[in-house]
Amino acid sequence: MINLLRWAVLSLCLFSTYAELPGWNLLFGTTVLDELSQSPLTFDKPLPKWLKGSLIRNGPGRFEMGEHSFLNVFDGFAKLYSWQFSGNGSAFFTAKFVQSKEYQESLKIKDIALYMTFDDLVPPLDMLEKEIATLNGMDNMNVNVFNFSGDCVILTDAWKSYVVNCHTLETLRKNNPSIPGDHTGFPFYSVMSIAHPAPEYGTNNHLTILQSLSIIPDLPDKFSLIRVKSADIRETIAIWDVKKMPYQHSISATKRYAIILACPFYMEFKKLLKTFVPRQSMTFNKDEPTTAYVVDLMTGKVQSFQTDSTVTLHHVNAFESDDNTIMLDVASYPDGAVLAFFDKSNLMNKTRRDNFPYKPSLKRFIIDLKKQKMTSMSFDVNPKVPHVNMLDMPTINELYRSRPYCYAYGVVFKSDLKSWGNFSIVKKDLCNSSGDLSWSVNNHYPMESWFVPNPDGSSEDDGVLLTPVLDGKLGKSYIVILDAKTMKPTTKAYLPILLPFHFHGRFMEDLY
């Protein structure tokens, strides 16, 4: 009876949405149980012969089980997708659910098992169930994919990860690596990290953080910058105190420094102990500054800088413009409302989502190490494509990671500046806004792209963008390959199954 009432209410919310945005109901919150292995794809035009490797992406693929469903898209059970390009014109598609402990237990009990979720369930758990879920921690790694020196791992904003086989997408094992030092045990609750580690320039390593929340009043929380050498091998670069623990999702690195942008968007442990729901424990304080921690990768020295209040989830890139100046580019927001936006009650109500305070803006922070000063700037707007500066889900040519660069690509979810659902893939020319470009198709919903450089290319934007898209009119998903110079499609292939909205991934050249 509860389920019937829940779906009746949801159907009423969706009614007007269906009429205006074809396929929208398929994009967010649609469960697709199909799994595939090496299903051949047919592209309408030839693929680039140099395109060899696999695009692997991660995201929520199942949103209900038994008596419960997830309230927030962020909590859907993880599902992996891969597009494998062999370099001879053939391509294949694979889709597999991540066999996490949470997912396997949920299948066994035929309901969503008690593990920590970002938001609540529908119907809500009682307080005892929430306590048990919090003690069990996060186990659903549904956000990103990385190659850690040959180990293929999937991540969310938790220290724990899972190792998978990126050829087959089979789940291999849970991974919870130990950290040297005495700051991870009592009295610290050390479970949070980030879904976007930064490559360490000139190495096969990555840089991540560990957040250690103090459970003793007035004892400072601790940040740790960690070097990732493999799925299992980590080493501590620096540890420092923070009065409050900001929510983190990404960091950046230049050739010499790691940059952690700590926004006044906090996880409050006292609130977590009352609600046992992470989203309900988060507070944005608009009157407090944003702090950038700059860590010297050679010495571990930490410097801090402050600037105006902002919130960011995704970093674009960072580089040193000279010996004393760091440039950091991010997709910024005026507050923390962006996380609440992905509550399905917002996504499935056109009036609510269109009026939601969703205002991303591409921003550059300039950190002057010599003058001990941090400032910010916005990029010029091209009046022909004014929405380009609203990009998120950024990607760049990875050959320019930690180096001066000109081009960033991303998704704009409100391209007409009015309707959240008018999606575009955009190219931002950071060096000259006259080069800004955009690609879109009415009632088609592109997701995060990945830039693959042409190995024989001579310019930064010589390559292609691999972009999954939902065709709302047909109710089918496809992958389109865009020329990154012109932002024009060169070929596409429809997929054998539907792909709901998913988050992040990457192209791995050695897998095909």
pLDDT for res 3: 43
User: Residue 10's pLDDT is what?
Assistant: 44
CATH assignment at residue 236: 2.130.10
Q: pLDDT over 90 for what percent of the chain?
A: 79
Taken in order 447, 450, 456, 457, the sign of the CA dihedral is: positive
The phi and psi torsions of 353 (rounded to 5 degrees) equal -70, -35
Predicted pLDDT of residue 355: 87
Which is more confident, 344 or 497?
497
Give the span between the Cα atoms of 214 and 107, in whole angstroms: 35
Amino acid residing at 236: T
Tens of pLDDT, residue by residue over 229-258, are 999 999 999 999 998 899 999 999 999 999
Question: Is 130:276 a contact under the CB 8 Å cutoff?
Answer: yes
Give per-residue pLDDT as tens, 25-39: 999 879 999 999 999
Mean pLDDT value of segment 142-162: 96
* Residue 139 pLDDT > 80: yes
Give burial (CB, 10 Å; 0-12/13-18/19+) of 456: exposed
- Residue-range definition of the domain harbouring residue 201: 2-508
Q: At 512, is the pLDDT very low, low, confident or very high (cuts 50, 70, 90)?
A: low
CA distances to 30, 198, 338 from 114, in Å: 22, 32, 26
3-class SS of residue 271: helix
Residue 211 is predicted with a pLDDT of: 93
Count of domains for the chain: 1
Q: Dihedral of the CA atoms 15, 19, 23, 28 (nearest 10)?
A: -40
Q: Tell me the three-class secondary structure of 106-142, residue by residue.
A: HHHHCCCCCCCCCCCEECCCCHHHHHHHHHHCCCCCC
Do residues 328 and 252 touch, judged by C-beta distance below 8 A? yes
pLDDT at site 505: 97
DSSP 75: G
Buried b (16+ CB within 10 A) or exposed e, 276-297: bbbbebbebeeeebbbbbbbeb
Per-residue pLDDT band for 17 (boundaries 50, 70, 90) equals very low
Contacts of 437-441 with C-beta under 8 Å, sequence gap 24+, read: 437/385, 437/388, 437/486, 437/487, 438/385, 438/387, 438/388, 438/412, 438/487, 439/482, 439/487, 439/488, 439/489, 440/415, 441/469
Rounded CA gap, 128 and 148, in Å? 38
For residues 19 and 11, what is the distance between their CA atoms, to the nearest angstrom?
A: 12
Per-residue pLDDT, 280: 87
- Name which residue leads in pLDDT, 267 or 388: 388
Percent of the chain with pLDDT over 70: 95
- Least confident interval from 7-21, 69-83, 192-206, 393-407: 7-21
Chain position carrying tokens 């944003």: 290
C-alpha to C-alpha distances, 281 to 118, 207, 269, nearest whole angstrom = 10, 27, 7
Mean pLDDT of 399-403: 98
pLDDT at position 395 over 90:
yes
Q: Tell me the Ramachandran region of residue 118: left when phi exceeds 0, alpha when psi lies from -120 to 50, beta otherwise.
A: alpha
Q: What pLDDT, on a 0 to 100 scale, did the predictor assign at position 315? A: 98
Asked whether the predicted pLDDT for residue 2 surpasses 80, the reply is no
- Phi first, then psi: give them for residue 251, nearest 5 degrees: -140, 170
Length of the chain, please?
Answer: 512
Average pLDDT of span 174-187: 79
Tens digits of per-residue pLDDT, 358-386? 789 999 999 999 999 999 999 999 999 99
Q: Which two tokens stand for residue 132?
A: 């048990």
Average pLDDT in the chain: 92
- Sheet of 257-262: strand order equals 252-253, 257-262, 290-296, 302-307
Is residue 1 predicted with pLDDT exceeding 60? no
8 confidence band (pLDDT: 50, 70, 90): very low
Whether residue 13 has pLDDT greater than 50 = no
Task: Cite the DSSP H helix spans in 174-285.
Answer: 269-275
* Helix, strand or coil, per DSSP, at residue 37: strand
Q: What is the pLDDT of residues 297-318, one digit of tens each?
A: 999 999 999 999 999 999 999 9
Calculate the alpha carbon distances from 319 to 254, 329, 374, 406 in Å. 5, 9, 15, 12
Query: 12: pLDDT confidence band, cut at 50, 70 and 90?
Result: very low
Under the banding of pLDDT at 50, 70 and 90, the label for residue 105 is very high
Please state, in angstroms and rounded to a whole number, the distance separating the CA atoms of residues 506 and 149. Answer: 15
Tens-place pLDDT, residues 420-470? 889 999 999 999 999 999 999 999 999 999 999 999 999 999 999 999 999
Distance CA 1, CA 44 (A): 47
Cβ atoms of 450 and 507 within 8 Å: the answer is yes
Find, among 262, 303, 309, 311, the residue nearest to 289 by Cα: 309
Q: What is the pLDDT of residue 7?
A: 39
- Where residue 183 falls among pLDDT bands split at 50, 70, 90? low
